[in-house]
């Protein structure tokens, strides 16, 4: 993105995004910043209460905040029910995407005809029968397989691979190193312990407004498709197995692994490093905490956690040794209870 040179006045901002403006509407801001670092020509926001004490001393040109924080604000402000989302929209307004000239770099190898508004970067390869929607950007070094379909307004950063036949929706953003549509891990075990590969004949089908992080991998279906619904956001280095379905607007942090045929609901969040086993179902609106291993289906919304707490190593070692003897501890408690009961019955 690049900064919008002339910025915007507070009046322009509320005209576009709503909210109640208090203060000089003609004041111009050119960039967003944090409360403690913003200057006169920048706009900050207050969302997390723990930063509220920074409000009194901010030198921001304006602040986006909720009604309850307004009394403390020393400068012009915009009141919003959701200051963070409002801030996101203002940040986007002030930092428009860099315009790429449309056209195909002479070093790219592009076999199909593309709309004239598409930009293809240096040394990219687009195979036969692929289609790319209007205004899309295919970054340098991307490899787009035969028959792939990419929607309008998509942005593939450099070095993205899309295997043959996969589908990416409109306004998708895919970061560098992502691999869409590699074979799922499908093999049958022979009697001698060796493995016979099962051809992976499904596709990956990705909806609209999906963002996929750097070096994330999404495998094609074995039979049938792997499906990423609209608005899903995947961070970096996530692995999605074959025939997984991820519901709309679910977001996953980095390093998550989802095994084959798992079905994850809508509006879920999955913390970094969590592992979700295969063939399970997770309901809508479930939050999985970081580093949690999900071993069975979850039918109810809510937050689920499974990580071992960390400690100084010496204390951990003592407690971890006990962990192997919980069954024994439970037995000893049972025996104590029985013995005590006998004793209590004595006259």
Map the footprint of a second copy across residues 175-194, applying CB under 8 A: 175-177, 179, 182-183, 185, 187-194
- Which residues, 216 to 255, sit near a second copy by CB under 8 A? 217, 219, 223-224, 231, 233, 235-237, 239, 241, 249, 251, 253-255
Three-state secondary structure call for residue 92? helix
Closest to 273 (Cα-Cα) out of 315, 239, 229, 320: 239
CB of 227 to a second copy, least distance (A): 15
**151 lies in the site for a second copy, by CB under 8 A:** no
Quote the tokens at residue 248: 């709309």
CB of 248 to a second copy, least distance (A): 8
Q: Please identify which residue in 16, 20, 53, 197 interacts with a second copy, judged by CB under 8 A.
A: 197
Whole-number Å distance between alpha carbons of 89 and 43: 12
Radius of gyration of the chain (CA): 27
**8 lies in the site for a second copy, by CB under 8 A:** no
Closest to 224 (Cα-Cα) out of 263, 173, 253: 263
Instruction: Judge whether 157 counts as a catalytic residue.
Output: no
**214 lies in the site for a second copy, by CB under 8 A:** yes
**302 lies in the site for a second copy, by CB under 8 A:** yes
**128 lies in the site for a second copy, by CB under 8 A:** no
Q: Please identify which residue in 26, 68, 297, 305 interacts with a second copy, judged by CB under 8 A.
A: 305
Catalytic site residue from 27, 119, 175, 242: 242
Whole-number Å distance between alpha carbons of 304 and 290: 10
Q: Please identify which residue in 49, 68, 92, 103 interacts with a second copy, judged by CB under 8 A.
A: 92
Helix pair 326-345, 313-323: axis angle to 10 deg: 70
Quote the tokens at residue 329: 């501890």
- Whichever of 117 and 236 has its CB closer to a second copy, that residue is 236
Beta bridge mates, 217? 179, 239
Beta bridge mates, 144? 126, 162
Quote the tokens at residue 242: 């074959």
Q: Please identify which residue in 103, 199, 297, 299 interacts with a second copy, judged by CB under 8 A.
A: 199
Q: Please identify which residue in 105, 134, 135, 283 interacts with a second copy, judged by CB under 8 A.
A: 105
**17 lies in the site for a second copy, by CB under 8 A:** no
**196 lies in the site for a second copy, by CB under 8 A:** yes
Whole-number Å distance between alpha carbons of 110 and 131: 11
Q: Please identify which residue in 14, 30, 152, 201 interacts with a second copy, judged by CB under 8 A.
A: 201
**323 lies in the site for a second copy, by CB under 8 A:** yes
Which window, 6-14, 53-61, 69-77, 92-100, contacts a second copy (CB under 8 A)? 92-100
Q: Please identify which residue in 24, 72, 131, 266 interacts with a second copy, judged by CB under 8 A.
A: 266
Q: Please identify which residue in 43, 75, 143, 282 interacts with a second copy, judged by CB under 8 A.
A: 143
Other C-beta atoms within 10 Å of 193: how many? 6
Whole-number Å distance between alpha carbons of 202 and 195: 20
Handedness of CA 333, 339, 340, 342 (dihedral sign): positive
Closest to 298 (Cα-Cα) out of 343, 264, 255: 264
**40 lies in the site for a second copy, by CB under 8 A:** no
- Known catalytic residues are 242
């Amino acid at each position: 993105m690049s900064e919008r040179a002339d910025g915007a006045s507070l009046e322009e901002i509320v005209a576009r995004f709503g909210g109640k403006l208090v203060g000089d509407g003609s004041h111009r801001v050119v960039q967003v910043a944090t409360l403690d670092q913003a200057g006169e020509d920048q706009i900050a926001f207050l969302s997390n209460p723990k930063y509220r004490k920074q409000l009194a001393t901010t030198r921001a040109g304006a602040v986006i905040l909720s009604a309850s924080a307004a009394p403390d604000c020393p400068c012009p402000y915009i009141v919003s029910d959701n200051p963070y989302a409002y801030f996101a929209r203002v940040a986007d307004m002030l930092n428009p995407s860099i315009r790429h000239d449309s056209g195909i770099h002479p070093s790219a190898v592009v076999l199909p005809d593309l709309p004239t508004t598409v930009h293809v970067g240096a040394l990219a390869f687009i195979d036969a029968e692929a289609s790319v929607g209007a205004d899309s950007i295919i970054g340098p070094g991307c490899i787009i397989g035969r028959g792939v379909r990419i929607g309008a307004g998509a942005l593939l950063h450099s070095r993205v691979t899309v295997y043959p036949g996969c589908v990416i929706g409109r306004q998708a953003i895919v970061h560098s190193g992502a691999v869409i549509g590699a074979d799922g891990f499908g093999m049958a075990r022979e009697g001698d312990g060796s493995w016979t590969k099962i051809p992976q004949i499904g596709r990956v089908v990705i909806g609209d407004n999906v963002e996929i992080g750097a070096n994330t991998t999404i495998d094609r279906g074995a039979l049938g498709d792997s499906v990423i619904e609209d608005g899903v956001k995947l961070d970096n280095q996530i692995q999605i197995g074959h025939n997984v379905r991820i519901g709309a607007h679910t977001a996953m942090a980095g390093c998550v692994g989802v095994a084959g045929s798992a079905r994850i609901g809508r509006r879920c969040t999955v913390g970094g490093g969590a592992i979700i086993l295969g063939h399970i179902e997770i309901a809508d609106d479930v939050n999985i905490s970081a580093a949690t291993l999900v071993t069975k289906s979850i039918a109810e919304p809510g937050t689920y956690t499974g990580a071992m707490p960390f400690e100084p190593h010496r204390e951990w070692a003592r407690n971890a040794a006990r962990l192997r003897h919980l069954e024994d501890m439970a037995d000893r408690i049972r025996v104590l209870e029985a013995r005590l009961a006998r004793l209590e019955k004595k006259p």
